Every structure is written in structure tokens, then in C-alpha cells.
């Protein structure tokens, strides 16, 4: 099994290096094909491992080599394949294989084709390290590695100012969170003496509640950055500047779920501190609603999906925070499938529309892009949580968790958000695929994507539909390591009322979206309609003015303060002090130079004066030595 572990882990790296070799050379298909095939190898290995674990195999744990060892600290490159990580491996390798094959078509005409695959495979490798590591430091490697690849990929079209800006924003925001993570790791090390998961968690039982709370908080700050939770969420929407496959892979399916993975992985810790868990859940519920509300009015196709991702991440954190780790992981998995599908579909649309992102400028695309239409619709259905699609099983479960755990406010918020989710998803679908063909106004001739791209997407489609049916198998498998709590509403009637009620609510929202946006009256908004001038619309479309606040009250003052530090403090205070000291010495020399008039007579006078000075010193010291006893008594009398 170790062989498969290494294969799963290192074939993306090999792919990345291979594509990297062609980095400076012109576009060649092979630079895309080989990494994709290697990823397929990784996927197959992951599947073999999954089967092995499913069939009751013990977890695979290898220690490749020592990384850092000093003092009591011992960090190896250790990898573990257990029920949790194998789930993540499956998600990562599957989605990334799909995305890789898809990208061969998507990036077809791009100058940086080879570079793209190098980065993308490097990302997968980092993600694999992240999920497979058996210690927090290894997790951190992956954590930062995916951050780096995210930076590279968001800023992939580096000639675009907005892309590079978004890349830097993403990296820096993630770094803020990484600091929290790092502090969390330090806390764990100094309190448990180890960074290995098993040893650290074993030692946590005996620790002080307060320390554990801090650990939980700091680790969660790390998770907040990667999973773009409020208030570190702004980067995710801006990250849509990257190529769409990147958004599908990184900003929907894998990297952003790393935070959820961390919380799930650290479940023994969060079990000990339920109050932090409650905070996580509350924040998750808030983000779910908050992000969904922003998605309602947005006019950028990819940003809408990004906010949707954010919202779904909120769901996952609710589940994880409330202790339903397996539910969180399950939703993570299901979400990865349909959200990646949604993004890839959006990629097709973008290609067709020549990088136009405003869904109001599309409309009626279903005639030209049948395959994409079907896929995106089904993905949206799954996202909305309609039976029997994947979203129904995972999302409904989270609602149930909220209900069963008696957090009714969270439950209500999530229920409401589910409606919003359905609405904005289908608003998007309706605007893109139904109604009048508004794109003609802009002189665009859309075309369907390559066949093989659609084929590449099909596994995701399949999984988006059927993933829900794995629920029980999955539950049995993963609860070997996670707390096995079944969430069932006690009475069957309540259960049915809830389920059907939710379904009806969601379907209503969908219908409303269709009614509003699928007709031929939809116009390209020009900022004059009544709705657009409403305050709440403005607030929502400006993302609650949060990016504006960050820019005005954080970024700009930071820049100004930096300039102030440099120009005023460093140059005019610190350096001027040093130069001032030098100046004093210099000017005193300049002044006393007059003494050296060159006139012997004057100099002789100075000589005598100097002699007198020395003689006086001799007298003073002589007297002091002679009368030292008396001086001491006088001084002691003065209290010195």
C-alpha cells in the first residue's frame, strides 16, 4: 500500500516538474497531457487506497524522512492514509484529474499553456501533502504550498493588473490567517510536546481548558483564511481573476475546503472545547447567509459561484463546529463535485462568450450549448439540494444537525440561506441559458466547448447526481476515526415535515428565480432601474462595502504609514540622530581647530594650561586618596 501512497502523492509533483521543463518553450500538448495522465495515476492510486481502507484495511502510515529535528522537536515527512485523508485524496485527485483534462481544452490557445499545467500539478501536490500529512507541520507545508500555487494561478495572466492585485490580496490575506495557524502549531508543540496528530491529540486530554481554547481559536483563524470566512473572505471573490479551471479546482473544490479539513482533522481538539465549536458554527451560519446575500445581486458569473462556494463553506463549518465532522466532510465532498462542475460549465460559457462574465449579457444560450446547459442545470439542482441529488443528502443533513443539536437560530438561518442558494443559482442559470439571446447585441457568436471537455466533466456530473447514495457506506467508513453521531430527528413526522418543507421552499425559490429571470423581458441593467437604486441593492452589490473599507482604512493607511516611517522617522529621526552625533563631533573639531593656530606661543600657553589641568587632577586624586576614609563617611552620611 505504501507504493500507492507514494504514487498518489508524488505523481502530481512529477507532472508539475515535467510541465515545468517546458516552461519557457512554446506551447506543446505533451506538457498538458503528461501531467493529466500522471494525475490519473494519482487518482487510481487513491482509489486503490480507498478500496483498501473500505475493505477494512488498517490505516497506512509511512515516515519518509526527517524534516526538522532539533532539541525536543522532531518533525518527519510522515504521511498517513486513513478514512479522513483518503476521502480528501479521492476528492482532490478526482476533481483535479477532471480539471486537468478539461484544461487541455480550455487553455488551448493560451501562451502560458505549459506553465499552467506546471502550476496546476504543483497545486495538487501541495494539496496532497496537506491532506496526507501526519503532523501539523506537514499540514502547514501543504497549507502554504497551496497558497503559493493559488498566488501563481490567480495571477496567471500577470499582464492584467486586476489579476496580479487579486493574487497578492489572496496571498497576503492567507498569510494573516497562516500566522494564526502558526501560533496554533506553536501552542500545540509547547503544550503537547509533539506535532504528530496522534501524539498531540492524545496529550490534549490532560490539558488546561484555557490552553485548548486558544489552540482551537488559533487553528481556526488559520482555517478562516484558507476557507475565506468572514472577515478574511474578500480574496475569494477577487480570486476569480484566475483562469476558470483554477477557480473550479482551487477556489471551489479543494483549497478552500482545507479549513474544513483542518477542523475535521483536529476533531479531538474541538470535541474538548464545544464553546469554540459553537463559535465556529455561528460564524459559519453567518457567512452562509452573508455570502448568499451578496450572490443575489452580483453581475459577475464567476463571482456568483464564488459567493455560493463561500456560502457552502459556511454550511460545512456549521456542521464541523457542531461536532458533526463526518457531515462536514460529506458535504465537502459532495460540494466539491457539483461546484467544480458548475465552475467548469461557467468556463465553457466564458469561452463561448469570449470572456464575457456578465450573465445579463448572455441569455438563451441553451440552444447553442446543450451539454453545458444540462450540466450546469443539474449542478445547480444539486447545489440547491433537491432530492435525489448529492446536495440534498449533505445539505439537508447539516440542517438536521442544527435542528437536532437545538441550535434553532442556526437552523433558521441555514434554511433561509438554502432558499437564497436556490434562488441565485437558478437566477444564474436562467440568465445564462434562458430568455432572449441578449448576447447578439454585443456581436458575440457563442459555440459549444470541445467534446472532450464535456466528456472530462462527465464524471463530476455523475457524482453530483449520485454522490448522495454513498452516504451510508461513507458514514461507516469515516466514523472509524470521526465521532459517529447519527443525526436523526426523533419523531418521523417532524422529519418528514422538515424535509418536505425544505424541498418545497427550495423549489419555490427556484420557480421564483425562473419567473423573474427566464422571460424575455430581462434587460441588461444600466443602473437606472428602480431596484438598482435601492440602498440594499447597493450595499449588496458593493459587498457590504467591505473591500472598500479594507482598501480605505487598512491598505491605504498602511501605505501611508510606511511612507511616513521611511521618510519621516527613518530618515529624519533615526538616521538624523546618527548623523547628528557625527555632526557634533565634526563641528567640535571644526571649532577647536582654532586652538591649533600654528603659533608656538599660543601653543605653549595651551601646554601650560594642560599641565595645570593634569596637576590639578593629581592634587584632587592625591587628596581623595589621602582623605578617602573621611569622604566615605561623608558620603554615607548623605545616604549615597
Partner 1 sequence: MEIGLNHYLVLSTLLFAIGLIGVMRRKNLLLLFFATEILLNSVNIAFAAISHYYGDLTGQLFVFFVIAIAASEVAVGLGLLIVWHKRHGNIDLDNMSTMRG
Partner 2 sequence: MIDHILSILIFFPALAAMLGFIIHKDSIRAYGVAVATIEFALSLWLWFAFDSNASGMQFMEQLPLVPAFGINYILGVDGISLFIIILASFFTMIGIASLTDTKNEKNMIVTLLFLQMTMAGVFSALDAIVFYVFWELSLVPMLYIIGAWGGPLRIYASVKFFLYTFAGSLVMLVGMLFMAYLYYQATGAWSFSILEWYRLILPESFQLWLFVAFFIGFAIKVPMFPFHTWLPYAHGQAPTIGSVILAAILLKMGTYAFIRFSLPMFPDASVFFMFPIAVLAIIMVIYTAMVAYAQEDIKQVVAYSSVSHMGIIILGTFALNVEGISGSIFLMIGHGLVSGALFLLVGVIYDRRHTKMMSEFGGLAHVMPRYATIFGLMLMASVGLPLTVNFVGEFLSLLGFYKQSHILTLLAGTAIIVGAIYMLAAYKKMFFGTVTNEKNANLKDVNRRELLALIPLSIITIWLGIYPKPVLDPINNSVESIVQLMHDKSTTSEAKSRIPNLVKNVETAKTSEQGAH
Partner 3 sequence: MFEAIAFYLFAFLTTVMFFIAVMTTQALHALTALAAGMIFISAFFFILGADFLGAIQIVVYSGAVMALYAFGMMFFDTTRDVKEKNGNKYIVFGLSILSAVLVVVIFSAPMVTDNISALYPMVEGAGNTQELGMVLFTKYLVPFEVAAVMLLVAMIAGIVLAGKKMDLSLTLMNDAEIIEAKIEKNKKVLS
Which x/- pattern, by CB under 8 A, does the window 560-599 give for partner 1?
---------------------------------x--xxxx
Q: Tell me which of 473, 529, 616, 628 binds partner 3, using CB under 8 A.
A: 616
Residue 626 contact among partner 1, partner 2, partner 3, none, beta carbon within 5 to 8 Å by kind: partner 3
Bridge partners for 75 per DSSP: 68
Which x/- pattern, by CB under 8 A, does the window 96-125 give for partner 1?
------------------------------
Q: What's the grid cell of residue 278?
A: 459553537
- CB of 584 or CB of 604, closer to partner 3: 604
User: In 321-382, where do the E strands start and end?
Assistant: none
What is the Cβ-side half-sphere exposure of residue 48, based on CA atoms within 13 angstroms?
A: 15
- Kindly state whether residue 618 participates in binding partner 3, applying the rule CB under 8 A: yes
Residue 598 contact among partner 2, partner 1, partner 3, none, beta carbon within 5 to 8 Å by kind: partner 1
Give one DSSP letter per residue of 494-512, joined into a string.
Answer: HHHHHHHHHHHHHHHHHHH
**CA torsion angle 15 17 19 22 (round to 10):** -160
Which x/- pattern, by CB under 8 A, does the window 129-168 give for partner 2?
--------x--xx-xxx--x--x---x--xx-x--xx-xx
- CB of 221 or CB of 375, closer to partner 2: 221
Q: Tell me which of 68, 202, 409, 604 binds partner 1, using CB under 8 A.
A: 604
- Kindly state whether residue 449 participates in binding partner 2, applying the rule CB under 8 A: no
CA distance linking residue 84 with residue 474, whole number of Å: 10
User: Shortest approach of partner 3 to residue 623 CB, angstroms?
Assistant: 7
Start-end of H helices in 353-445 = 370-384, 390-404, 408-433
- Kindly state whether residue 182 participates in binding partner 2, applying the rule CB under 8 A: yes
Give the position of cell 488498517.
58
Which x/- pattern, by CB under 8 A, does the window 579-608 give for partner 2?
---x--------------------------
Bridge partners for 74 per DSSP: 69
Q: Tell me which of 615, 631, 634, 635 binds partner 3, using CB under 8 A.
A: 615
Which x/- pattern, by CB under 8 A, does the window 585-614 give for partner 3?
----------------x---x--xx-xx--
Give the position of cell 483563524.
221
Q: What's the grid cell of residue 312?
A: 457552502
DSSP 598: S
CA distance linking residue 165 with residue 273, whole number of Å: 38
- Kindly state whether residue 488 participates in binding partner 1, applying the rule CB under 8 A: no
User: Shortest approach of partner 3 to residue 570 CB, angstroms?
Assistant: 49
Residue 619 contact among partner 2, partner 1, partner 3, none, beta carbon within 5 to 8 Å by kind: partner 3
Q: Cα 597 to chain center, whole Å?
A: 75
Q: Which helix (H) or strand (E) holds 277?
A: helix 274-297
Whose CA is closest to 345, among 248, 438, 249? 248
Residue 597 contact among partner 2, partner 1, partner 3, none, beta carbon within 5 to 8 Å by kind: partner 1
User: Shortest approach of partner 1 to residue 616 CB, angstroms?
Assistant: 15
CA distance linking residue 15 with residue 130, whole number of Å: 18
Give one DSSP letter per residue of 88-148, joined into a string.
Answer: HHHHHHHHHHHHHHHHHHHTTT-TTHHHHHHHHHHHHHHHHHHHHBSBHHHHHHHHHHHHH
Binding residues for partner 1, total number by CB under 8 A: 10
- Kindly state whether residue 213 participates in binding partner 2, applying the rule CB under 8 A: no
Q: What's the grid cell of residue 522?
A: 430581462
Residue 498 contact among partner 3, partner 1, partner 2, none, beta carbon within 5 to 8 Å by kind: none
Residue 570 contact among partner 3, partner 2, partner 1, none, beta carbon within 5 to 8 Å by kind: partner 2
Residue 625 contact among partner 3, partner 2, partner 1, none, beta carbon within 5 to 8 Å by kind: partner 3
For the beta carbon of residue 374, count every other beta carbon within 10 angstroms.
15
Q: Tell me which of 442, 545, 548, 558 binds partner 2, using CB under 8 A.
A: 558
Residue 593 contact among partner 1, partner 3, partner 2, none, beta carbon within 5 to 8 Å by kind: partner 1
CA distance linking residue 610 with residue 342, whole number of Å: 93
Residue 3 contact among partner 2, partner 3, partner 1, none, beta carbon within 5 to 8 Å by kind: none
Query: What angle, 0 to 180 degrees and rounded to 10, lies between the N-to-C axes of helices 370-384 and 492-517?
Result: 140
Q: What's the grid cell of residue 120?
A: 496546476
Q: Are 288 and 413 in contact (CB under 8 A)?
A: yes
Q: What's the grid cell of residue 551?
A: 482598501
Bridge partners for 73 per DSSP: 70
Question: Which region holds residue 31: left if phi is over 0, alpha if psi is between -120 and 50, else beta?
Answer: alpha
Summarize as ranges the residues that interact with partner 3 (CB under 8 A): 601, 605, 608-609, 611-612, 615-616, 618-619, 622-623, 625-626
Summarize as ranges the residues that interact with partner 2 (CB under 8 A): 23-24, 63, 65-74, 76, 137, 140-141, 143-145, 148, 151, 155, 158-159, 161, 164-165, 167-168, 171-172, 175-176, 178-179, 182-183, 185-187, 189-190, 558-559, 561-563, 565-567, 569-570, 574-575, 577-578, 582
Summarize as ranges the residues that interact with partner 1 (CB under 8 A): 593, 596-601, 604-605, 608
Amino acid at each position: 500500500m505504501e507504493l500507492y501512497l507514494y504514487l498518489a502523492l508524488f505523481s502530481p509533483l512529477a507532472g508539475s516538474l515535467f510541465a515545468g521543463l517546458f516552461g519557457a518553450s512554446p506551447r506543446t500538448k505533451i506538457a498538458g497531457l503528461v501531467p493529466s495522465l500522471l494525475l490519473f495515476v494519482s487518482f487510481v492510486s487513491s482509489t486503490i487506497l480507498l478500496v483498501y481502507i473500505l475493505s477494512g484495511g488498517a490505516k497506512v502510515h509511512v515516515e519518509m524522512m526527517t524534516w526538522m529535528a532539533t532539541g525536543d522537536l522532531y518533525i518527519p515527512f510522515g504521511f498517513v492514509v486513513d478514512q479522513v485523508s483518503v476521502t480528501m485524496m479521492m476528492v482532490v485527485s478526482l476533481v483535479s484529474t477532471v480539471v486537468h483534462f478539461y484544461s487541455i481544452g480550455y487553455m488551448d490557445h493560451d501562451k502560458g499553456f505549459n506553465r499552467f499545467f506546471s502550476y496546476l500539478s504543483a497545486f495538487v501536490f501541495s494539496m496532497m501533502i496537506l491532506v496526507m500529512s501526519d503532523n501539523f507541520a506537514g499540514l502547514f507545508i501543504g497549507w502554504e504550498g497551496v497558497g503559493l500555487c493559488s498566488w501563481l494561478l490567480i495571477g496567471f495572466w500577470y499582464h492584467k493588473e486586476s489579476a496580479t492585485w487579486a493574487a497578492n490580496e489572496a496571498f497576503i490575506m492567507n498569510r494573516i490567517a497562516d500566522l494564526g495557524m502558526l501560533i496554533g502549531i506553536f501552542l500545540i508543540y509547547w503544550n503537547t510536546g509533539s506535532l504528530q496528530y496522534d501524539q498531540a491529540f492524545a496529550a490534549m486530554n490532560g490539558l488546561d481548558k484555557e490552553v485548548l481554547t486558544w489552540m482551537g481559536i488559533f487553528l481556526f483563524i488559520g482555517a478562516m483564511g484558507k476557507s475565506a470566512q468572514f472577515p478574511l473572505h474578500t480574496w475569494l471573490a477577487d480570486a476569480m481573476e484566475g483562469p476558470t479551471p483554477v477557480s473550479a479546482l482551487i477556489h471551489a473544490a479543494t483549497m478552500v475546503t482545507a479549513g474544513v479539513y483542518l477542523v475535521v482533522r483536529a476533531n479531538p481538539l474541538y470535541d474538548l472545547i464545544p464553546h469554540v465549536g459553537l463559535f465556529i458554527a455561528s460564524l459559519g451560519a453567518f457567512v452562509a447567509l452573508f455570502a448568499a446575500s451578496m450572490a443575489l445581486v452580483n453581475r459577475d458569473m464567476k463571482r456568483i459561484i464564488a459567493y455560493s462556494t463561500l456560502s457552502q463553506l459556511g454550511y460545512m463549518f456549521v456542521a464541523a463546529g457542531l461536532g458533526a465532522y463526518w457531515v462536514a466532510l460529506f458535504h465537502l465532498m459532495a460540494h466539491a463535485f457539483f461546484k467544480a462542475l458548475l465552475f467548469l460549465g461557467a468556463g465553457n460559457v466564458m469561452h463561448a462568450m469570449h470572456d464575457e462574465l456578465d450573465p445579463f449579457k448572455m441569455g438563451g444560450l441553451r440552444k447553442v450549448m446543450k451539454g453545458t446547459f444540462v450540466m450546469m442545470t443539474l449542478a445547480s439542482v444539486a447545489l440547491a439540494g433537491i432530492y435525489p441529488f448529492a446536495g440534498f443528502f449533505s445539505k439537508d443533513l447539516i440542517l438536521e444537525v442544527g435542528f437536532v443539536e437545538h441550535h434553532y437560530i442556526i437552523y433558521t438561518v441555514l434554511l433561509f440561506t438554502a432558499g437564497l442558494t436556490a434562488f441565485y443559482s437558478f437566477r444564474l442559470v436562467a440568465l445564462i441559458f434562458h430568455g432572449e439571446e441578449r448576447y447578439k447585441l454585443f456581436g458575440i457568436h457563442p459555440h459549444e466547448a470541445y467534446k472532450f471537455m464535456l466528456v472530462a466533466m462527465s464524471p463530476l456530473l455523475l457524482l453530483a447526481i449520485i454522490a448522495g447514495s454513498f452516504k451510508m457506506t461513507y458514514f461507516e467508513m469515516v466514523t472509524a476515526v470521526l465521532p459517529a453521531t447519527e443525526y436523526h430527528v426523533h419523531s418521523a413526522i417532524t422529519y418528514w415535515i422538515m424535509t418536505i418543507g425544505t424541498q418545497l421552499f427550495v423549489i419555490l425559490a427556484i420557480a421564483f428565480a425562473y419567473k423573474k429571470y427566464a422571460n424575455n423581458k430581462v434587460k441588461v441593467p444600466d443602473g437606472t432601474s428602480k431596484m438598482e437604486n435601492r440602498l440594499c441593492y447597493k450595499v449588496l452589490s458593493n459587498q457590504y462595502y467591505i473591500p472598500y473599507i479594507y482598501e480605505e482604512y487598512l491598505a491605504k493607511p498602511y501605505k501611508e504609514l510606511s511612507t511616513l516611517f521611511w521618510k519621516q522617522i527613518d530618515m529624519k529621526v533615526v538616521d538624523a540622530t546618527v548623523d547628528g552625533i557625527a555632526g557634533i563631533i565634526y563641528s567640535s573639531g571644526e571649532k577647536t581647530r582654532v586652538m591649533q593656530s600654528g603659533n608656538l606661543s599660543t601653543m605653549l600657553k595651551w601646554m601650560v594650561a594642560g599641565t595645570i589641568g593634569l596637576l590639578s587632577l593629581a592634587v584632587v586624586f592625591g587628596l581623595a586618596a589621602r582623605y578617602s576614609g573621611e569622604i566615605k563617611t561623608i558620603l554615607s552620611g548623605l545616604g549615597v
